[in-house]
A and B are shown apart, each in its own frame.
Chain A
Amino acid sequence: MATDAMGVSMSPTMSLAEAASTLAWPARGRVQSSPDVASRAIGGARRQNPGQDDARRAQSRALEMDLIREAQAGSRVAFDTLVRQYEHQVLRLALHLTGSEQDAEDIYQDAFLKAYRYIGNFRFECSFYTWIYRIVTNLCLDQLRRRKTRREDHAVVVDRTGDEIDILASVSDNRSFSNPARELDRKMLGAKIQAALGKLTPRERMVFELKHYQGLRLRTIGEMLNTTEETAKNTLFRATKKLRAQLAELR
């Protein structure tokens, strides 16, 4: 049994259906969520051996700074190492936001080409992670805005050949106990949530994505989106409000 920052007990016993019903009709009891969500809610506050973590982080940051300097001096090898360090995170974010492998690949390409072209401008005022994420989030925001304009609604992920991929199907649900009915409900719910996310403004979508799915601090999100922590917090609040309304209507 874990306790989050609000003192609410978190356990893996709450189902998606219970959560859905809680949103639509307020539950009488306390809400519980999965351990995954609980750990994210804590936001890394519970860490073991913080001293070791800090030392490791400082060391990896020093190595990264060396790599950046070499890349600034024109080393392709150093830049390639930086790319390999962040490419999974970049693709994961772009894929989740756009729902399209093709778009994610394009964003990946544009982001790292921009990074290569402008790495000389990097002045170590923020982490390279924040810097590259700023590039990626800007490209994703552009993509989301274009999509808004075209009023596209991607409920499923599209691969580069144009075939639809059900993201939910690729994820095992250890809470459904392989119950086919529950699995179906879960897939439908996932599609509905994706649709609800699609109705947020690009900026709300981005803040919610970075906070909820990527687990970033609001301060970092503010830096990435060239805004303040307070604005990011307000945007997150608006996003959760809208999502709750959307998901309550779905019910």
Chain B
Amino acid sequence: MLSEIIQAISDNLKFCLRKDRTFFIDGCHISGNTIKFVDAVDGVEYKEDLDGIDLITFADATIPNRSDLGNIKSFLEANVNDHIKNNNIFDELLHKCNEYKKIFNEQSISKIKEAVLDHNTSELDKLNILGCEQVISLDNCNQKEISLITTLYINLIDEKLNKALCELDQCITDMNDIEFEQEANIIRKDLIDNVNDFKRSINNIDFKDLFNNWPTLLNPSPFSIHV
């Protein structure tokens, strides 16, 4: 039945397949119980058994039932608006995948497709802010990955600190007031002390909670967790 459905809709509707991996289908050919297709995100040709595979579409009236299969032309004509909507959503998701593909390395494509299809891209965004080249599942990190993320977190804090100190210097110059300069230097010291204390204690933070933590005086945090 699944092979018949895919054959019936594949010229008109865009869709995804998911088994142990996620695929954005760009042209397919079915032979028996096997589907051959090109994935639109990575451009690789795949051959998969249809047993246990999920067909994913993005609007109502996109999966014909048995009676629809007897007159597929009529099914397609009757539901054309749903199918336009479906294809637009597919294109949006594909565009998102391609944007993330520019940020992360080749080994991350599979995780990107999965996250985008599940509308669960907040981790990708966090990793992007950190400047991480590979997609790492933050809920399920090994020790090496934790170490990498922590290092990137510290680098980002240093970067933000340097920027804040430059702005502080500029402010002192603009104000040209000795009293203001004296107080601004206290702020500078407070800020540096806060950042150093934070960095010293970063390994005591539960990794799952890392992104909720940021040196107080260096807020606003780029991760915008709390208001």
Is B one of A's binding partners?
no
- Chain A interface residues (CB < 8 Å from chain B): none
